[in-house]
Structure 1
Amino acid sequence: MGSATVLTFLIVGVATSTQATLFIVNQLALTQEMQRYTSIAYGSEAAQQLDVYTPINTTYTSSLPVVIFFYGGCWGACETLPKEDYAFVAQTLLEHGIVVVIADYRLFPTVRFLSIIEDARNAVEWTHQHIAEYGGNPKQLFLMGHSAGAHLAAMLAMNQAYLSQDAYADLNGFIGLAGPYNFLPFDEPYMPELFGPPLNEHESQPITYVDGSEPPSLLLYGDADTRVKPVNIDGLFKRLEAANSPVQKRIYQGVDHADIIASFAMPLRRENPVVLDAIQFISASANN
């Protein structure tokens, strides 16, 4: 039984829908001590909003590392849950003294990829400009995402052209949870339209932009993942290594695509290697 299934049974005793399970997980997370600033606009569209989570004792004079988290969901082409459903990720990181930003973004098919990555970019730029007001250190920014969200985070981390020079310089690291980074040829019918002109196919791939100037990367993946192929993690890892860019890879036995993000939820997060590896990476990179 995978850890995501264990999570469901531990919480409610029976199998439930993803939304029902996440509702209970997030209710548990929100009972913990935290400060939560909700639905802050980083743009003029309804979807261009973000939430900021800070430890309860954070003051405006604090200077804590910051994780900007992007959720997955096939960029909108499959089930995509809103930022509120990832409070459990924030709560786990808060326990380690990390300020967390979780952003919504516009989704396919309403928009195409260039609009989606623009939203991700603008969420990071907003955080860089304003996170000190919430006790976060704008010079200790980390990009983190799961699945399609890891792709967004990787695109920003690998391609300097997306972010302002100042914001890119303050990226301390990238953490990818089961992300697609090297998925040509396209193997889903929606992808040609999502990543279509004016992009060419290779411009949709984070691996394309690696040149050795990237912030440190941590690539996390489960060997039971049937949604994202191993070539995504292996390909980006080898390309970063070849460019002498700092990179670490962790492969977890028996962990599937859902398990790796469920690792951040109560009660699985205690002594969980996925969480411990992410926290260790943030602590080491923030102190450099």
Structure 2
Amino acid sequence: MRCFNIISALFLFLTFSSSQAFANHNIKHFKDVEWAKPKGFSLTLDIAIPETKTKTKPVLVIFHGGGWLLNNKSIMTDLANSIATRTDIITVNVNYRLLADVDNTTTVNEIVEDAMGAVLWVKDNIKAYGGNPDQIAVTGDSAGGHLAAMVAVAGRNLDSDGFTKKPLGFNPTYLPKGITAEQVAKKDGLKIQAAILSYAGFSLVEVAKRDFEGEGNQFWKWAKATPRGMFGGKINVNDNPEYYQAVSPDQYLVKANEYRLPKQFVHVGERDALTTPERAKAYVEQLKTLDQPVQFKIYQGKGHGFLDSNCNDYNNGCFKDLSEPTVTDMIDFLNKVFGL
């Protein structure tokens, strides 16, 4: 009888703990907050705040996918709201410039600078929304996963000259008042606690060599833009590989005893033909070899873009069904990172 009572109590404890961790609650929205205006192009973000009793909450910054040419933050709204509803984590869903923006002149390094700038904006401003600037994670899917990875691994490679001079560095689109890119780098001001990389791009050298910059890439057509190089001008992957390496997360991985990178959760769908399980696994193995913290999962039966909002034909389903069990795994990872 005593054994039965102990087991029953344990069951009730586990059930209660699980319901507390995943119980749905209301969220408060701040939409279309302008965080920067590079070259006159307005960049906005959405903030979703869990209406819980915790006064200072961790933050998850989200970057949407779309091949650096398509979509906006709305395609990540379901993910942002789902996580904010089920956790004690504020979500910040970010717009960044696309290659076709500003009359098809935006370069991929400027997009990375937007991602870095958005995280710096969050660190500088999130206290006003009840967020903790010292507890920040990033995530993104596909091209957004590439941006999240760049924030996680390349945040110390900052330079006020950006890509205008060599060595190539990043000048974040947003900087705290009176602070230079070099000062941010010296203080490791872009340091975050974790990154969730959803079927992300890890090498833009590989991407460019797959005819990304040519007419064979239908994303240019869908964006109603003329195909061109990611960096504009005469820069190409064969003659100028250093430019493409500089925007590739797999080029910034170092041994953990030299610099401890944020914890990373890398995942991909079994049927993904764009970010294949093999490509994702190669990145993970590289991290493991360097003794960096990483976890990896392949989701059976899933293709590319299964975390997109609403319903879509390319995955034959809707977010509510397609996103599970991935979102639950993401929440579990974040709760452990933030000690929730």
TM-score bracket, normalised by the shorter chain, equals 0.7 to 0.9
Structure 2 residue identity aligned to 1:268: D
> Considering only CA atoms, is the larger Rg found in Structure 1 or Structure 2?
2
1:241 aligns to what? 288
Question: In the TM superposition, what are the counterparts of 1:175-214 in structure 2 within 5 Å?
Answer: 175-182=196-203, 184-185=205-206, 186-190=209-213, 193-195=229-231, 197=235, 200-211=243-254, 212=256, 213-214=260-261
8 A Cα contact 1:142 1:172, kept in partner: yes
Matched to 1:105, the amino acid is Y
| Map 1:1-288 → 2, pairs under 5 A | 33-44=26-37, 45-57=40-52, 62-76=55-69, 80-94=70-84, 95-109=86-100, 110=104, 111-159=106-154, 160-162=156-158, 164=184, 165-169=187-191, 171-182=192-203, 184-185=205-206, 186-190=209-213, 193-195=229-231, 197=235, 200-211=243-254, 212=256, 213-261=260-308, 267-268=320-321, 272-287=324-339
How far did 1:84 drift?
3.0
Tell me, in whole angstroms, the C-alpha distance in 1 between the residues paired with 2:301 and 2:130: 38
**Deviation of residue 256 (structure 1)?**
0.7
Secondary structure at 1:225's aligned position in 2?
A: coil
Q: Is the 8 A contact 2:29 2:48 kept in 1?
A: yes
Structure 2: tracts of 5 or more residues without a match: 1-24, 159-171, 173-183, 215-227, 312-317
TM-score scaled by length of structure 1: 0.79
Q: 1:140 to 1:269 in 2, by over 3 A?
A: farther
Deviation at 1:277, TM superposition (A): 1.3
Q: CA deviation at 1:88?
A: 0.9
- Amino acid in structure 1 at the alignment position of 2:157: A
Equivalent residue letter for 1:216: K
- 1:146-196, Cα deviation, whole Å (9 max, x unpaired): 000000110111112247335333x11000010010354321331871156
1:22 maps to none
Number of corresponding residues: 250
Given residue 77 of structure 2, which amino acid in structure 1 is its aligned partner? A
Secondary structure in 1 matching 2:320: coil
Deviation per CA, 1:216-248: give whole Å up to 9, x if none: 100011111112233431121011111111000
Task: List alignment gaps of at least 5 residues for structure 1.
Answer: 1-31
Higher RCO structure, 1 or 2 (CA under 8 Å, sep 6+): 1
With over 3 angstroms needed to count, the CA separation of the structure-2 counterparts of 1:257 and 1:99, relative to structure 1, is: same
Paired residue type of 1:194: M
- Note the aligned Cα RMSD (angstroms): 2.6
The alignment partner of 1:69 has SS state of: strand
Task: Tell me which amino acid in the other structure corresponds to 1:141.
Answer: I
1:249 partner amino acid: F
Counterpart residue identity of residue 248, structure 2? Q
Q: Aligned partners of 1:242 and 1:231: how far apart in 2?
A: 16
Identity value in percent: 26
Moved more, 180-189 or 48-57: 180-189
Runs of 4+ in 1 over 6 A off after TM superposition: none
- The CA deviation at 1:85 is 3.6
